[in-house]
Amino acid sequence: MARRVAVVGGGVTGLAAAHALAARAAQGDGSGVEVTLLEASDRLGGKVRTERVDGMLFECGPDALFLRSPFALDLCRGLGLGDQVVRADPRHRRSYVLFGGRLHAIPAGMEGGVPRAVWPMASSGLLSPLGKLRAALEVALPAGRTEADESVDAFVRRRFGPEVAERVAGPLLGAIYNDDARRLSLLATAPHLRAAERRDRSLLLGAWRAGRRAGGHAPAPNGSAPASPFVSLRCGLDGLVERLAAGLAGVDVRLGAAVRALRPEAGGFLLETDGGERLVADRVVLAVPAYEAARLLEPLSFAAAAHLAAVRYASSIVVALAFPATVARALPPGSGFVVAPGEPRLLAACSWLSRKWPHCAPNGELVVRGHVKPERRPDAASATDAELVAGVRGELRDLFGLTAAPLAARVYRWPRALPSYAVGHLDRLAAVERALGDLPGLVLAGAGYRGAGVPECLRQGVEAAERAMAGAGWAAAAPAAAAAQR
């Protein structure tokens, strides 16, 4: 008898899970599986969406895949998208921090906002002489002894001092995780830093020794810069959604089917939708935000629901503007900037998309993508699209003298869309695992758990499908560094 699997949520995590289950069903190996994919909205793909505007590509949500491991790249190739993969243009790697009202180039050799070499810091205008000296003293510090989690800010501040924490790590990691580095869990977001401290005592010395073992920091054999870990798709990132959806042969895909209730029944689960549909499944993959999972699981496990509800989500607004190619000279070399906390700006970050991804503007237009954090600027949430566009244009004018009228402007709002891994995140996930231990076949996956980027969500979806078919419950998140080795 076929196993019935319900996948709740049609973002990239749920799509990857349903695709993996459909592939297993197509193998005809006698394992028999019937899959139903339930998505509350009228489209699949979640935050991965591409809009085409006069021949240009505007990425409405994520604009790239960060390759911590080969998984996402291998998946793209398996979906027939290998020829569509493009890497960020290495000529525009320079980026900046807006601090004290001025743009400062981020020192070379940084890794996630953490220095890996002394000289680039010494020549940077971002740090004061005292700040540079404090950062260089990292080589003399002993390794920390605590095994407990700590914030990324606390770690960087302990190793390199307050200026690196506030002027480099804070802005960069805040942009990546859309949160304050003082809240971010080191063990959930950057466990490799703790591991490097334990192994090498000093991160700077460890990086220097690694360079010596590798024969120095020589350029690539062809003389070019090392390949960027950021990739995108020439056809737009929604091409990934389309290929995954095209592989759902035999899957019962139901759009506009928000799940209202979930409860155990007859060795499986009963799901009810807002439309009154009832579905019985042997296995359930919950590929929804943690707060939605908390709502559905509260009748089954109050403890699990409480821990899931504690996962914080932030909102984000993307303002995309396209300008004539002739105005590109107004911007400095590089790919964009992040804004240090405390700066009186609407923008939290801004990227010059068409420099990183020339395929987004095939006729040479300049596509600029501004990021606004309603948490940092509460008035942004209630602002109209026109007000947001005017605000971003005003800041581009103030910073770069860019006065040209845009060829196109779009605003994409993502309320409560980006999870933050606060200190103690892994302990929270372990508590959820214990609380759900008596509900085998219920699997949780998605950005709120084991990695928020698109590649991590894809990996979690495939792993969730495997666990669902094995009848296993959900396992607590492994540190990101361990997952990256897969």
Q: How confident is the model at residue 134 (pLDDT cuts 50, 70, 90)?
A: very high
The pLDDT score that the predictor gives to residue 471 is 63
Q: Which of 398, 419, 440 is the last residue of a domain?
A: 419
What local confidence, expressed as pLDDT, does residue 122 receive?
80
Query: Has residue 372 got a pLDDT over 90?
Result: yes
Average confidence (pLDDT) over 280-296: 97
Question: Which has the higher per-residue pLDDT, 115 or 362?
Answer: 362
Task: Report CA-CA distances (Å) from 72 to 242, 294, 439, 454.
Answer: 15, 28, 30, 8
Asked whether residue 204 carries a pLDDT value surpassing 50, the answer given is yes
Check if the beta carbon of residue 228 is closer than 8 Å to that of residue 460: no
Count of domains observed in the chain: 3
pLDDT digits (tens, 9 = 90+) for 428-464: 999 999 999 888 889 999 999 998 899 999 999 999 9
**Which pLDDT value is given to residue 31?**
59
How many whole angstroms separate alpha carbon 114 and alpha carbon 111? 5
Residues 337 and 286 in one domain: no
CA R_g for the chain: 23
Domain identity same for 110 and 206:
yes
Asked whether residue 17 is domain-assigned, the answer is yes
Q: Are residues 346 and 413 in the same domain?
A: yes
The pLDDT tens digits of the residues spanning 43-54 come to 999 999 999 999
Query: How confident is the model at residue 484, as a pLDDT?
Result: 38
One domain, residues 116 and 205: yes
Is 74 among the domain residues?
Answer: no
**Is the per-residue pLDDT at 109 higher than 90?**
no
Query: 324: domain CATH number?
Result: 3.90.660.20
Check residue 485 and give its pLDDT: 35
Q: Do 351 and 470 have their domain in common? A: no
Q: Are 183 and 262 found together in one domain?
A: no
In a domain, 80, yes or no: no
* Under 8 Å between Cβ of 225 and 219: yes
Which range has the worst mean pLDDT, 135-149, 321-335, 407-421, 461-475?
Answer: 461-475
Query: What's the chain's average pLDDT?
Result: 89
Q: Quick check: 131 pLDDT over 70? A: yes
Task: Specify if 228 maps to a domain.
Answer: no
206 domain residue, yes or no: yes
Q: Say if residues 330 and 402 touch (Cβ distance below 8 Å).
A: yes
Decide if 227 is inside a domain. Answer: no
pLDDT band at 226 (very low <50, low <70, confident <90, very high): low
Bigger pLDDT: 26 or 412?
Answer: 412
Inside any domain, residue 77 = no
How does pLDDT run across 10-27, given as a tens digit for each residue?
999 999 999 999 998 887
Both tokens of residue 469? 């078919």
| Region 260-278 average pLDDT | 93
Task: Name 4's bridge partners.
Answer: 34
pLDDT band at residue 224 using 50, 70 and 90 as cut-offs: very low
Q: Are 406 and 323 in contact (CB under 8 A)?
A: yes
Last residue of one domain, picked from the residues 178, 213, 248: 213
pLDDT at 29: 54
pLDDT at residue 216 greater than cutoff 60: no
Look up tokens 């490799």; give the residue.
192
Last residue within a domain, chosen from 394, 419, 444: 419
Checking 330-335 for CB contacts under 8 A at 24+ apart, the result is 330/400, 330/401, 330/402, 331/366, 331/400, 331/402, 332/96, 332/103, 332/400, 333/92, 333/94, 334/92, 334/93, 334/94, 334/95, 334/96, 334/105, 335/88, 335/92, 335/93, 335/94, 335/95
Task: Tell me how many degrees the CA angle 412-413-416 measures, rounded to the nearest 5.
Answer: 150
Specify whether 281 is located in the same domain as 426.
Answer: yes
Place of tokens 């050799």: 109
| pLDDT confidence bin for 227, thresholds 50/70/90 | low
Burial grade of 82 (CB within 10 A; 0-12, 13-18, 19 or more): exposed
Evaluate if residue 58 carries a pLDDT over 80. yes
> Per residue in 162-179, pLDDT tens?
999 999 988 888 788 878
User: According to the model, what pLDDT value does residue 178 have?
Assistant: 77
> Rounded to whole angstroms, what are the CA distances from 139 to 26, 40, 115, 125, 201?
56, 52, 11, 21, 8
What's the CATH code of the domain at 118? 1.10.3110.10
Asked, for residue 223, whether it belongs to a domain, the answer is no
**Would you state the pLDDT for residue 481?**
37
The Cα–Cα gap between 418 and 453 comes to 10
- 406 shares its domain with 456: no
- pLDDT higher than threshold 50 for residue 223: no
Asked if residue 286 and residue 244 are part of one domain, the reply reads yes
Residues in CB range of 123: below 8 A, 6 or more apart:
107
Which run of H or of E encompasses 415? Answer: strand 408-420
5 Cβ partners below 8 Å, 6+ apart? 21, 33, 34, 35, 36, 281, 282, 283, 284, 285, 465, 468, 469
Question: Is residue 222 scored above 50 in pLDDT?
Answer: no
- The amino acid at 264: P
**Which of the residue ranges 44-48, 116-120, 266-270, 320-324 would you say has the lowest mean pLDDT?**
116-120
Rounded Cα distance between 323 and 329, Å, is 11
Tokens 């419950």 found at = 473
Selection from 37-41, 145-149, 324-328 with the highest mean pLDDT: 37-41
How confident is the model at residue 228, as a pLDDT?
Answer: 75
The answer to whether residues 301 and 257 belong to one domain is yes
424 closest CA partner among 154, 68, 198: 154
Q: What is the pLDDT of residue 201?
A: 95
Question: Are residues 397 and 336 part of one domain?
Answer: yes
pLDDT tens column, 318-346 = 999 999 999 988 899 999 999 998 899 99
Is residue 40 predicted with pLDDT exceeding 80?
yes
Give residues with Cβ within 8 angstroms of 426, minimum separation 6.
149, 185, 187, 188, 476, 477, 479
Beta bridge partners of 35: 5
CATH code of residue 461 = 3.50.50.60
Range of the domain at 366: 313-419
Q: Of 117-131, 213-227, 244-258, 279-293, which gets the smallest average pLDDT?
A: 213-227
In the chain, count of helices (H) and strands (E)?
A: 19, 22
* pLDDT surpasses 80 at 474: no
333, 393: one domain: yes
pLDDT-wise least confident of 42-46, 221-225, 419-423: 221-225
Contact 321, 370 (CB under 8 A): yes
Is 90 exceeded by the pLDDT of residue 30?
no
